[in-house]
Structure 1
């Protein structure tokens, strides 16, 4: 069993409403001291897989600034401080798609960048029926897509879906839907 690093100190280098950039000093088992830089979110994120009565899935198509390209994703968003993951998932579903969940089940949780960020993503499946208006942030332009579950496998293979959180979420929920 490998020995672990022992934290000596921790400091926040930068903080904004979405995350903190941190620096830890640690000691190795051999006594050497090192530095570890990482990000931390207030509560992680929540991603929700909306399922229509006909079995089709609701996805979003939105522009991602850092990659400067369109991304097909399940609705998702960061948790605000103290917010429950299920409440964040329901809120993002309404905000991004206008759909309201009639039945929602937590499927799992994963860490998307465990070497760079202290962060976890909570995954939910929801049955949806009624679609209202989207409530987008002023920086968002989101189109709604409807796809059969079996279409997602090919979309991932063809790199039409390239978002890591969506791919990880699909690996957790696909056996519930296919």
Structure 2
């Protein structure tokens, strides 16, 4: 048992949607006092670091309603029930970019917002990219523009504050530090 673990005594689901479930947990803290926790339950997701043979990072630009702005991001998507992260990664790569990959390398799994959400993202590097003639269609409510950006430029964009998405920042730093040029 973790010395800081909070024991849940009651869970109330207040919303169960298509992507997330919202819960309020009554917990007992390590010192024995009660507290409430507002939690977002998410099925998890994957993100990809697709790197072309000439060292360009394949990225997507899309509007994010929660922030009210368009962001430049690495391709990503949520896990479907019963789907492994590897299968999700290959599916999302094809749907969002029109590429398949010769090699899919697990990089890490990380928590996105552990203070209130259980979402984890499984991050993969995708190399040996090959354009697909008739790729699977993406989500009908998702509008993205594909960009191929030299890694050095992506690093500069990160340094200049032009990249605002955490999974993308992490991905660019990993690609740069691992020598994927």
Q: TM-score, normalised by structure 2?
A: 0.89
Deviation at 1:29, TM superposition (A): 3.1
Gaps of 5+ in 2: none
Determine if contact 1:99/1:132 at 8 Å carries over to the other structure: no
Report how far residue 2 of structure 1 moved. 5.7
Does the Cα contact within 8 Å between 1:97 and 1:131 map onto a contact in 2? Answer: no
Alpha-carbon distance change, 132 to 163 in structure 1, aligned in 2, over 3 angstroms: farther
- Give the unaligned 5+ runs of structure 1: none
2:5 corresponds to which residue? 4
Say if 1:46 and 1:121, in contact at 8 Å, map to a contact too. yes
Tell me the equivalent position of 1:26. Answer: 27
CA contact (8 A) 2:106 2:124 kept: yes
Please report the RMSD computed on the Cα atoms of aligned residues, expressed in angstroms. 1.8
| Mapping of residues 69-84 of structure 1, within 5 Å | 69-84=69-84
Q: 2:123 matched to which residue of 1? A: 123
Contact 2:77 2:92 in 1 (8 A): yes
Q: Does 1:142 align with 2:148?
A: no
Is 1:63 the counterpart of 2:58 in the alignment? no
The alignment covers a number of residue pairs equal to 177
Q: TM-score when scaled to structure 1?
A: 0.91
Secondary structure of the residue aligned to 1:151 is helix
In structure 1, the residue matched to 2:158 is 156
